[in-house]
Structure 1
Amino acid sequence: MSKGVVLITGITGYVATHTALAFFEAGYTVKGTVRSAEKADFWISAFPQHKDAFQYAIVEDMTLPGAYDEAIKGVDIVAHIASPTHWNPKDNEKDILLPAINGTKNILSATKLEPRIKRVVFTSSFAAVSDARKEVSPDKVFTPADFNDITYEEGKTATEHRWTYQASKALAEKTFWNFIKEEKPSWAGSVVAPIGTYGPPLQPVKSLKDINMSCQFFLGLANGTFKNGVPAIGFPFFVDVRDVALAHLRAVELDVAKGQRYLLVGGPYKPEQIVDVVVRNFPFLKEKLPEVDITKVDLESTPFKIDTSKTTGELGITFTPFEKMIVDTMNRLLFLAKQFGAIP
């Protein structure tokens, strides 16, 4: 017997796919929003063992008023994950800010139509916590109380697209908290805020170019893109996508999570460490990777610190180790490369 119906927005995405699988495996019926029936059929075809516990609702444009009004029917739990994550918008406002903010407004408004809903978890990001425009001390400790203060207008006019992304995440999350404060819904809300998310991509794709952005980084390692130098990174911290999925599940199952915000950070890393792990575990890729002497890399310093004690203590998350995350990700990508005839 199902534990209930959970609506997962943007189910075909990277994080959403893992989250759906976590709910399936915990005994829930999963209802995913998709842009077409064809996308729903393609997605569930990768997980035939869960077909009997799968439903879908078509939401072609989440920014339109009433976008989720039909999808919300018969739902007990909501995991709002859908949000733009690309870094090359043609229009900051139309491509990033409005989808993130209005999509959030629409899913929250729709909850008024379904009295069955007990819990809602909102997927934010560490991008909503920090402000990449500002330098901070290495002694700075970010906690769940921190927010960046990038305004809508600053996000709209930013020439650095990561600032627009950061604005979209913070403003969308603030929309979530403001709705709870002002509307006082019958359901309890929680927020999970992951940092740079890696791990094996399980969402079905039709080609390697369709794989999500964070995993493209690993493909670049495998195909020689970074042969001439270790790639630059943004925030030098990671979290495994499987831990993010589990956090969504725990956030709606545990009473302690009601009204709480959780930072999801597995730990710090240096890009040279990724190369080192790949070379040691996949020696046949060595010729395609830059040379790295890990003994000469400062592995101790970080640009700031992040307190995840609330996440580990209240949600009971034990973060996946860095090396396991890298190995599992690369194994999955090599499998997909072989499947698509692009063996490194």
Structure 2
Amino acid sequence: MTLIAPGSKILVTGANGFVAVWLVQALLEQDYCVRGTVRSQEKGTFLLDKFKSYGEKFEVVVVEDFTKDGAFDEAVKGVEAIQHTASPFHFNADDPKGMCIEQYSRFINTIRACLFTELIDPAVNGTVGILQSASKYAPNVKRIVILASCGSILRDADEPLTFDETDWNTQAPEEVKRLGRNASGVAKYRTAKTLAERAAWRFYDHKSQVNWDLTTIHPPFIFGPVAHEVSSPKDLNTSAKEWYNVVAAPNSSGRSNDFLAEVGSSWVDVRDVAASLVKAMNVKEAGGERIIVNAGHYIWQDWLNIANSLTPSPIPSHAPGTEKALPVGNTEAIKNPVYMIKYNTAKEKRILGLTYRTMEETTRDTLADYERRGW
């Protein structure tokens, strides 16, 4: 039985994001009404035009700064489920705010780490803020789904590892604690996602009389065609930009053979992430769960081999021998590949039962999208 009936109003925060636009589309296609938050009216204009055929079933509200107290108080009123996707994803954060916070778990209770204005403030305050607003002003909400990340689960290692939902990333917060401003961008991002999720579960576990339950969805790197407003490849979000730069950009931005053969992770198609968020909203058994959604693992050479093998090519403007020819890389690289990061998705299979797109499907659709855009 569907937990949230079609026709119900769903709040999607950060509705103009890479995943969120696909999510809004999926919800509308399944006959839900959607209220999307954006940071400015200008950002909402694109969405209103894109989904104009749905008329009053889609609306946009402006939440300029979701780190402020009560930022979502008005937005949550009258909705029956919340999809919280608003959170920054990049590896370039630098500016420490100079204040400290109490951390949100047993292993990190002894740590006092500097907040980074660009990542940790928005991630933690935005996540706790949406839960506070829902508790105060959304009595009809049955479920809140948070788009989390495998960044709060994995850790880097020198040997292949397989992670599941019982794992928490302690490595990145320790690096941020130790190095502060000098911590890597990846560590800062993963710390933000870890602290935000810890804060969400702490709120949920300690808040009395909430009428809703909580689910967190954890994708690894997200690839696939673009549905949000982007004018050129340089404006893509972090994961999509990296895929473009390696797989489609002329000369592959000078990537070394070692990079193509040794650097990789796990991935999932953006449209499958959107589908997982809708299912997580509706499946009763998903309540109170962390769920990893993962299509598989890769090294970058895998993507290059697939892109060059597709017939007919979905991106003829990048044909071999032309100035924009797709990079070939090192075709010897995957004879004995070692995939360093894998995920156990048994819980997802049991609760959500997703069918994931293949690397071939994602590659074909993404390159065809680039061709349509003249990239």
Distance between the aligned counterparts of 1:104 and 1:155, measured in 2? Answer: 25
- 2:127 maps to 1:104: yes
Q: Is the 8 A contact 1:229 1:290 kept in 2?
A: no
Report Cα offsets for 1:255-292 as digits up to 9, x if no partner: 11111111111001121111111112236443434434
Distance between the aligned counterparts of 2:351 and 2:336, measured in 1? Answer: 29
What amino acid is the match of 2:338?
A: S
2:167 to 134, 146, 150: 146
- 2:327 maps to 1:286: no
CA 1:248–1:7: 2 relative to 1, 3 Å: same
1:191 to 209, 216, 224: 216
**Larger deviation: 268-277 or 168-177?**
268-277
User: Which residue does 1:250 correspond to in 2?
Assistant: 279
CA 1:165–1:291: 2 relative to 1, 3 Å: same
Q: What is the alpha-carbon root mean square deviation over aligned residues?
A: 2.2
Secondary structure of the residue aligned to 2:73 is coil
User: Which residue does 1:120 correspond to in 2?
Assistant: 144
CA 1:327–1:179: 2 relative to 1, 3 Å: same
User: Which residue does 2:289 correspond to in 1?
Assistant: 260
**Larger deviation: 22-31 or 209-218?**
209-218
Report Cα offsets for 1:212-258 as digits up to 9, x if no partner: 22222343343314164458476421101111101100111011111
2:299 to 247, 270, 278: 270
1:89 to 88, 93, 99: 93
**Larger deviation: 85-94 or 253-262?**
85-94
Q: Is the 8 A contact 1:155 1:163 kept in 2?
A: no
CA 1:70–1:330: 2 relative to 1, 3 Å: same
1:71 to 60, 75, 78: 75
Distance between the aligned counterparts of 1:141 and 1:105, measured in 2? Answer: 30
Report Cα offsets for 1:78-128 as digits up to 9, x if no partner: 011111102212415101111100111111110122101110001110100
User: Which residue does 1:137 correspond to in 2?
Assistant: 159
What amino acid is the match of 2:214?
A: G
- 2:346 maps to 1:317: no
User: Which residue does 1:6 correspond to in 2?
Assistant: 10
Q: Is the 8 A contact 1:6 1:30 kept in 2?
A: yes
Q: Is the 8 A contact 1:32 1:55 kept in 2?
A: yes
State the 4+ residue runs in structure 1 displaced beyond 4 angstroms: none
What amino acid is the match of 2:166?
A: A
Distance between the aligned counterparts of 1:5 and 1:172, measured in 2? Answer: 25
- Mapping for residues 152-163 of structure 1, pairs under 5 Å: 153-154=177-178, 156-163=180-187
Q: Is the 8 A contact 2:93 2:188 kept in 1?
A: no
Structure 1 residue runs without a partner (length 5+): none
User: Which residue does 2:270 correspond to in 1?
Assistant: 241
Give the C-alpha shift of residue 301 in structure 1.
Answer: 2.7
Q: Is the 8 A contact 1:155 1:165 kept in 2?
A: no
Secondary structure of the residue aligned to 2:217 is strand
Distance between the aligned counterparts of 1:123 and 1:157, measured in 2? Answer: 26
Distance between the aligned counterparts of 2:201 and 2:328, measured in 1? Answer: 47
What amino acid is the match of 2:345?
A: T
Q: Is the 8 A contact 2:48 2:59 kept in 1?
A: no
CA 1:95–1:293: 2 relative to 1, 3 Å: closer
Q: Is the 8 A contact 1:19 1:248 kept in 2?
A: yes
What amino acid is the match of 1:122?
A: I
- Mapping for residues 292-303 of structure 1, pairs under 5 Å: 292=329, 294=331, 296-298=333-335, 300-303=337-340
Give the C-alpha shift of residue 299 in structure 1.
Answer: 5.5
Give the C-alpha shift of residue 136 in structure 1.
Answer: 5.3
Secondary structure of the residue aligned to 1:330 is helix
Distance between the aligned counterparts of 2:179 and 2:275, measured in 1? Answer: 31
CA 1:261–1:272: 2 relative to 1, 3 Å: same
**Larger deviation: 170-179 or 36-45?**
36-45
Secondary structure of the residue aligned to 1:79 is strand
Distance between the aligned counterparts of 1:235 and 1:126, measured in 2? Answer: 14
Q: Is the 8 A contact 2:22 2:274 kept in 1?
A: yes
Q: Is the 8 A contact 1:33 1:57 kept in 2?
A: yes
What amino acid is the match of 1:102?
A: N
Report Cα offsets for 1:175-199 as digits up to 9, x if no partner: 1111110004210110100000001
Report Cα offsets for 1:10-63 as digits up to 9, x if no partner: 000001111111111111111100112222122221233223310121100111
What amino acid is the match of 1:219?
A: Y
Distance between the aligned counterparts of 1:300 and 1:274, measured in 2? Answer: 13
Structure 2 residue runs without a partner (length 5+): 97-115
Identity %: 29
Distance between the aligned counterparts of 2:343 and 2:184, measured in 1? Answer: 24
What amino acid is the match of 2:44?
A: A
TM-score, normalised via structure 2 length: 0.83
Distance between the aligned counterparts of 2:18 and 2:179, measured in 1? Answer: 25
Q: Is the 8 A contact 1:196 1:239 kept in 2?
A: yes
